[in-house]
Chains A and B, each alone.
Chain A
Amino acid sequence: MVERQSPLEPEFHVGSHGNFEHGVEILLTETRPGSIVQLAAWPGEEKKLIAAIRTVTGLALPDGAGGGLSNGVKSVFGFAPGKFTVADETEGLAEAFAKAVTPAIGTVTDLSHGRTAIRIAGPKAEWVLAKFFAIDFALPAFPVGAGRSTVHHDVFAQIQRTGSDQFDLYVFRSFARSFWKALCHASEEVGYEVQ
């Protein structure tokens, strides 16, 4: 398999940066999932699509808008009514869903090459993200596993909370490098480490 190049590469500098004399409070990395897939159910077919997600990934989506979960390898969350993002460390998710999601249930869109997944973690993750997005990052309002669709200066972003102080951000690949640079700048004041 051809190795996929990262759009972040020219600006991806492993190590500690910014104001880290008192320790780093942010960890930034690119999770580089093998598969990123978007699923959409036709009206009334949502339950069948959720069942297909369970068949393919083994993940049972919780009820409710923006509900989701991650097992560390595969992740799924709702980002719009009847629409879900699924990511997997390995490739081939779109092919698996193409079999499980029949044309009567909905659609499968392979975004593996179209999105870049950035992970921000650490005690100041909420603080840094709150500079970018006008949404509530507090744990009661944004529980672990849940997903949110939002926007930063016209850069559309899907955010999944994958830990109490960890978030996975899915941004357009073409905007990913400038978004990454902005994220690094925003993390400077608290000290950050790129891994």
Chain B
Amino acid sequence: MLITCPYCGPRDVIEYTYQGDGNRERPDPASQNFEAWNAYVYDRLNPAGDHNEIWQHSGGCRAHLRVVRNTLTHEISSVAFASGDHHAPAARRKAEDKP
């Protein structure tokens, strides 16, 4: 699997570290909304198809990347720096969604 880093270009997946589901929205640290915290920690979409993910190019420029990967084909349809853009291109979880 190749991921095309916006800085380094196409690199083997061995240079990257998976940093988890890119759909999670961290509640305000002061929040006592346990449902929101529970959803942040445990709820995952687990889609068969495009999935928002955070990867770090740990064996390269070390940038954190927002990646859309197809969980069926491993096709990478989008890679962008995670900094700045907080709007993931693939479908996001809505707050009221239940897994």
Contacts and interface: CB of A to CB of B under 8 A. Distances in A.
B14 A81 contact: no
A149 interface: yes
Contacts of A136: 9
A133 to B, nearest CB: 10
Interface residues of A, number: 16
Q: Could you tell me the dominant secondary structure of chain B's interface residues?
A: loop
Contacts of A83: 61
B11 interface: yes
A81 B60 CA distance: 11
Contacts of B11: 134-135, 150
Given A79-B61, A81-B81, A150-B59, A66 B8 contact: yes
A156 B14 CA distance: 12
Which of B7, B15, B83 is most buried by chain A, counting CB atoms within 10 A of its CB? Answer: B7
Contacts of B59: 149-151, 154, 156
Interface of A: 43, 65-66, 79-81, 83, 134-136, 148-151, 154, 156
Interface of B: 6-9, 11-12, 14-15, 59-63, 81, 83
